[in-house]
Amino acid sequence: MKTLILLTHENYPASKANRALLESLPEGAPVVIRNLYEMYPDGRIDVAAEQSLAEQFDRIIFQYPMYWYDVPAFFKKWLDEVVAFGWAFGTREALRGKSIGLVITTGSPRETFTREQAGFTIEESALPVIATIRYVQAQYIGLVALCNGDNLDPAEVAESRAAYQRLVLGK
């Protein structure tokens, strides 16, 4: 099974958390990684190309850093333009039955994402994306979060890498 990872990170080389996860994948893993910011530096998304590519994979991972408790604006734009009526829902259902998971990285420690501190958990921050996945009748397969990106805890990195490999590779 081939997996498409749609990474939306505007400064991936500086991201310790995203690099720690992506670099944990075994060499030769059946994975295609696309950083949307690198693919579309002018901000113009080739919707037909993105839709065609998504159709070629049974497993898709949306990977992004959390920005102000939300998705990056460019990922939201991708969702708005690519996951469109007539392709993803309505007259066609191109994502129906596909396995879609989420990977979220944060700059803050995991402890800050509690109902007591933030008012919700990391998982709850992803509910709009999860609802979108379900709305287009894809299968939501879970979420991996790696927190405190500037000051990574080795134990959390190891745990997140193992969970990441399971999510991405379906093992």
The mean pLDDT of the chain is: 94
Residues 33-80: pLDDT tens digits?
Answer: 999 999 999 999 999 999 999 999 999 999 999 998 899 999 999 999
> H-helix or E-strand containing 21?
helix 16-22
Q: Where are the domains of the chain?
A: 3-169
The pLDDT confidence band at residue 118, using thresholds 50, 70 and 90, is confident
Are the C-beta atoms of residues 66 and 122 closer than 8 Å to each other?
Answer: yes
Q: Is the pLDDT of residue 97 over 90?
A: yes
Percent of the chain with pLDDT over 70: 100
pLDDT at 14: 87
pLDDT tens-digit map of 130-159: 999 999 999 999 999 999 888 888 999 999
The answer on pLDDT for 7 being more than 80 is: yes
- What pTM value is reported for the model? 0.95
Average pLDDT, stretch 93-100? 97
pLDDT-based confidence at residue 16 (cuts at 50, 70, 90): very high
HSE-CB of 101 using CA atoms within 13 angstroms = 20
Dihedral pair phi/psi, residue 136, rounded to 5°: -90, 10
Q: Which two tokens stand for residue 6?
A: 């749609």
Per-residue confidence (pLDDT) for residue 69, from 0 to 100:
86
Residue 50: alpha-carbon gap to chain centroid: 15
Q: Can you give the pLDDT at residue 73?
A: 95
Can you identify the CATH homologous superfamily of domain 3-169? Flavodoxin domain (3.40.50.360)
Q: What is the DSSP string of 107-165?
A: SS-GGGSSTTTTSS-HHHHTHHHHHHHHHTTPEEEEEEEE--TTS--HHHHHHHHHHHH
Q: Where are the beta strands (DSSP E) in 26-113?
A: 31-35, 59-65, 99-105
Q: Which two tokens stand for residue 67?
A: 């920005």
Residue pair 78/50 in contact (Cβ under 8 Å)? The answer is: yes
